[in-house]
Amino acid sequence: MKEVHSEIQINATPEQVWEVLTNFDRYPEWNPYMVKASGTLVAGQDVRMTLQPPGKDQKSSKSMLTIVKPNQELRWQDFTVFGGLIDHEHIFTIEELEPNRVRFVQSERFQGLLVPFTWKSRSASTKAGFEAMNEALKKQVEGDTAG
């Protein structure tokens, strides 16, 4: 299994981060990586994402939410046409460090037969996308909480 990981500290409560992170309707306004998202935040339900990895073409995916723990964790598993070739699980976690300060972690785990052949390109663009999104999330949350 291979993993891409990025984290950032945000000056806000877990509830404030969760509110921005789970408001899929507003993703086009602030999110440079996950430019569109829709779905119901219930484990077992589908979510649709349109990703814009830096330097790559947009791609859309349909995933199933596997964990929805408000203010703590959001996780989904991507559907693939041919399971076992490239499977991935996307994970967001929010960890309170102190009052009004959290660590936001975004990671994705990849496994399957084709992962070794696509890893170099996939990991670089995914990491860049995560970092852009994390910075934008920080700016959005901290801007929302400043007023």
d(CA 47, CA 139): 24
Lowest-confidence pick of 7-16, 47-56, 106-115, 137-146: 106-115
Provide the percentage of residues in the chain whose pLDDT is more than 90: 66
What's the confidence (pLDDT) of residue 140?
A: 97
- Enclosing domain of residue 40: 2-146
Total domains in the chain come to 1
Under the banding of pLDDT at 50, 70 and 90, the label for residue 10 is very high
DSSP conformational letter for 33: S
CATH classification of the domain holding 123: 3.30.530.20
Other Cβ atoms within 10 Å of 47 Cβ, number: 20
Average of per-residue pLDDT across 142-147: 72
| Plot region of 119 (φ>0 → left; ψ -120 to 50 → alpha; else → beta) | alpha
The CB-side HSE value for 118 (13 A sphere, CA atoms) comes to 15
pLDDT tens for residues 73-87? Answer: 999 998 665 666 767
